[in-house]
Amino acid sequence: MNLPLALIATRARAQRVTVLTGAGVSAESGVPTFRDAQTGLWAQFRPEELATPGAFRRNPRLVWEWYAWRRQLVAGVQPNPAHHALAELERRVPQFTLITQNVDGLHQRAGSRAVVELHGNITRTKCFEEDTLVETWPETSEVPPRCPRCGGLLRPDVVWFEESLPAAALALAHERSAACDVFLSIGTSTVVYPAAELPFHALASGATVVEINPQPTPLTAKAEYVLAGAAGEVLPELVAAIELFRHG
Ligand code: OAD
């Protein structure tokens, strides 16, 4: 991709970089996104039937098994060059914050350390009643399994629709979006709030906002740079170009 030199120069000088990622970053690992017409999860399943507290109360087995299927899928894939490029950027930028809407844990598996998980993580399990994490539970044929402490049903540690995001993660995400030199919005349809307001917060604070997405989103018209390509191709190129710019 033909990267604008001004963007490379700005990115190379940036001391504070904040990144927001969505499902598009994991697409090249083989993890379905949500709203892509053919392959998106919401094209095949209805979120109201799977990703809400009400859905879980109505049919806990269905919801648990759907997340067990997604957990198994994620366990079977690898981080892609987009994840690795972001882990590389973190090592080169004085203040780098990676905010993700993804629950697949692939950023951490690629070596990213400062990951702000806005929507939780599918590899963690918590008690539906106590809302506390549960590491182990007695093997049983019951689905979902039960909390060893209170006997409540277990559920994935992810944020469902109608639920609040983890307050500390959201506060940090707002803080780092409003105080950065460059904000990269990567692989997100920018339609689910409050995550979707973060790039606009960065814009309002004067950051250089860059969107990386093969499709347009509500941010596209406002971003200073729009790199309309796949994250797994664009990000490694951007990291290489910045390195070249810095060290000639
Ligand atoms: P979406 O499925 O809504 O959007 C995925 C975005 O990634 C789209 O804009 C695609 O164009 C783009 N995309 C696809 N392949 C890409 C690639 N190779 N490189 C870059 N971009 C690519 O997923 P999210 O925006 O992450 O929330 O969805 C946000 C939230 O809605 C999710 O966290 C989830 C969902 O409902 C909850 O479940 C609470």
Cis bond upstream, residue 144 (ω within 30) = yes
Residue 153 and residue 147: Cα distance in Å, rounded?
6
CA of 231 to the centre of ligand 1 (A): 12
- What's the rounded Cα separation, in Å, for the pair 36 and 160? 19
Q: Is 101 in the pocket of ligand 1 (CB under 6 A)?
A: yes
35 lines ligand 1 (CB under 6 A): yes
Query: Residue 196 C-alpha to ligand 1 middle, in angstroms?
Result: 11
In this predicted structure, the answer to whether residue 248 has a pLDDT above a threshold of 80 is no
Name the strand (E) or helix (H) holding 127.
Answer: strand 120-127
Round the average pLDDT of the chain to a whole number and report it. Answer: 94
C-beta 24 within 6 A of ligand 1: yes
What pLDDT, in 10s, does the model give residues 112-169?
998 999 999 999 999 999 999 999 999 889 999 999 999 999 999 999 999 999 999 9
Question: Is 163 a pocket residue for ligand 1 (Cβ < 6 Å)?
Answer: no
Q: What is the mean pLDDT of residues 5-22?
A: 87
Q: How remote is the CA of residue 204 from the centroid of ligand 1, in Å?
A: 23
- Per-residue pLDDT of 162-195, as tens digits, reads 999 999 999 999 999 999 999 999 999 999 999 9
What would you measure as the largest C-alpha separation in the chain, in angstroms? Answer: 61
Active-site residues, by number, are 119
Closest CA to 132 of 123, 140, 124: 124
